[in-house]
Amino acid sequence: MNPFTTFIPESLEARLQDGIAHAMSLGAEGAEAFLSVSRARKAKVQNGALEDLSASKRGGLGVRVIRAGTKGFRTGLATTSDLAAADFRGLFAQAWELSALGDEDPWLRQAEPEGSDDLPSRFDPAVDALTPEQRIERAMAVEAGARKASSKVAAVRESAWSDGSGASLLLTQKGVRAADLGSSCSASIELAVADGEERQAAWHWDVARRPTLDLAAIGAEAARKGERKLNPQRLAAGKYPVVLHPEVAVDLLAIVAGMLDAEAVLKQRSLFAGKMGETIASPLLTLLDDGRLAEAPGCPALGTEPWDGEGLSTRRNVLIEGGVLKTYLHTLKTAAEMGVAPTGSAGRGLGSQPGATTFNLFPLAGQTAPEALYRMAGNGILITEIMGLHTVDPVSGDLSVGASGLRIRDGLLAEPVDKLTFAGNLRDFLTRIVAVGSDLHWYGSSAGLSLLIEDIALGGA
């Protein structure tokens, strides 16, 4: 049996095509259906005992109807979770009525049919074949890995194994049929470590498309993180060379990518508005988004999809090259408004208009090992955690966030430090990168690496 049709049967697809035809008969300029169906399972243990075992199935349908106006187009959206309905004509009629409201948009566009899904399968039947007992064993194995790695593990709040699979389908009156099918697995652990009266919390996780995760390593890394945080010292306020851990860099680069959303740029809500072709970062930084990235050891390519949310083929986009801004992330609408080629970067929700997104976001790795970066930093700070990055001002780039990490003394990692204030401007952090690590690490559909940044102001407790 075709695994796709176990999620979205042909009869359901036929009812969607009937609904699209009904919308067109009402006088619509365009009609679209976006459908998503998924199954998820989770096993959660705590201190060696099963706490929860769950399974769920979710599905939803969002339709968009486009009405022609005198100066552009209006759109109407309607959603349902009832995928067993005899037909969807009423849902499309509701969207048609709603399309009479709102402002006209002269830049709205739809994709033409193109290509086919020529990517390797993103679905692994071994994920769905896992038994409840196997899921419990995997959650137990993560906890066992943590306890074996450190005698300081005092308690495990949650050790979990999760997996899921799902399918999505976009249909339009133009003949676009963009289908996707995929699976994923993840393992995570939250724990507490103790040294006398001192306690610290830590967590770690990893994700892949297939059930091949190194469970003991995930637990061990969480324990190591916890140990590194025990008995933190104070840091005198001042300017320091800073090494960002890959887990921090990945979040920082995601903030940068968010500011490259062309919609935000058009609305002057981005630090990088009007900066196309200009230097916005160190020449050592190249940032890419690749929706067609191949799965490889250490690279789950979890964001790889054949199509974006509007039915365009995904592609490899160079966002920043050698520090120079090369492109914004576009939907068809923003590409038309800016008069540029689309980037195949649209994401889509059931009840929202398409918006720009990333698929597999990553920087190009450098040639410098992390230990060499520490030696270059001399007497600096390794930042392993940042709290509050979501508060970065998207227009000015100003930020002031909490941080913690490890002191670097004479090029070697030393005592932990916490309650730091990591303050400044995002543009300054990008332009002050003086070395890029070779330790590219994936966190789901984004990757980070160690970055050495010079002359950063840190406030101590």
pLDDT tens string 252-268: 999 999 999 999 999 99
Decide if pLDDT at 460 tops 80: no
At 461 the pLDDT is 57
With 0-12 CB in 10 A as exposed, 13-18 as middle and 19+ as buried, what is 1? exposed
Torsion angle (degrees, nearest 10) of CA 369, 370, 376, 378: -150
Decide if pLDDT at 424 tops 90: no
At 388 the pLDDT is 87
Calculate what percentage of the chain has a pLDDT beyond 70.
100
pLDDT range class, residue 102, cuts 50, 70, 90: confident
Q: How is residue 182 written in tokens?
A: 């995929």
Backbone angles phi, psi at 68, to 5 degrees: -75, 140
Decide if pLDDT at 77 tops 90: yes
Backbone angles phi, psi at 344, to 5 degrees: 65, 40
Tens digits of per-residue pLDDT, 223-237?
999 999 999 999 999
Tens digits of per-residue pLDDT, 153-163?
999 999 999 99
Distance CA 108, CA 296 (A): 37
**Mean pLDDT, to the nearest integer, of 415-433?**
92
Distance CA 143, CA 146 (A): 5
At 114 the pLDDT is 87
Decide if pLDDT at 127 tops 90: yes
Decide if pLDDT at 420 tops 80: yes
Are β-strands 324-325 and 412-425 bridged in parallel, bridged antiparallel, or unpaired? unpaired
At 405 the pLDDT is 96
Decide if pLDDT at 115 tops 80: no
Q: Write down the mean pLDDT value for the chain.
A: 96
| 316 alpha carbon, distance to own chain's centre | 16
Decide if pLDDT at 439 tops 60: yes
Cβ proximity of 65 and 103 under 8 Å: no
313 half-sphere exposure, CB direction, 13 A CA radius: 11
With 0-12 CB in 10 A as exposed, 13-18 as middle and 19+ as buried, what is 37? buried
Homologous superfamily of the 3-223 domain (CATH): PmbA/TldD superfamily (3.30.2290.10)
Calculate what percentage of the chain has a pLDDT beyond 90.
94
Distance CA 172, CA 33 (A): 6
163-190 exposure pattern, b = at least 16 Cβ within 10 A, e = fewer: bbbbbbbbbbbeebebbbbbbbbbbbbb
At 9 the pLDDT is 97
Question: Residue 213: what residue type?
Answer: L
